[in-house]
Amino acid sequence: MKFINREYELSLLTDVLLRQESQMVIIYGRRRIGKTALILELIKKQTEMKSIYWVAHKSSSEILLEKFSKAVRPCLFCLQSQFSDKKPLF
């Protein structure tokens, strides 16, 4: 699938991503209009940054924490164990 006509959105997201301070961006819209494709394109273009794309599916919180831990472990070299809702990470 060709990614077209989203340069303005990519530019906005890139600007936010490169800021020094923490940011939160909410991307919303109708179904099937390319929100996921926009995020994946941003990650693909920012090759010098480590990125994680993870989708939570309906499951127990224990299973979700385990799967999330496995997804982020390659990017967080200091993470020796998995996340837990019972104890602090560090």
Q: Read off the pLDDT of residues 31-43 as tens digits, 9 standing for 90 and up.
A: 999 999 999 999 9
Residue 54 and residue 65: Cα distance in Å, rounded?
12
Query: At residue 66, what is the residue type?
Result: E
Using one digit for the tens of pLDDT, what is the confidence trace for 10-26? 999 999 988 988 888 88
pLDDT at 77 over 70: no
SS3 content of the chain, % helix, strand, coil (to 5): 40, 0, 60
Put residue 32 in one of left, alpha, beta given phi > 0 → left and psi -120 to 50 → alpha. Answer: left
Using one digit for the tens of pLDDT, what is the confidence trace for 51-64? 788 888 899 999 99
Task: Enumerate the domain spans of the chain.
Answer: 1-51, 55-90
Query: At residue 77, what is the residue type?
Result: F
CA proximity to 41, closest of 76, 11, 78, 77:
11
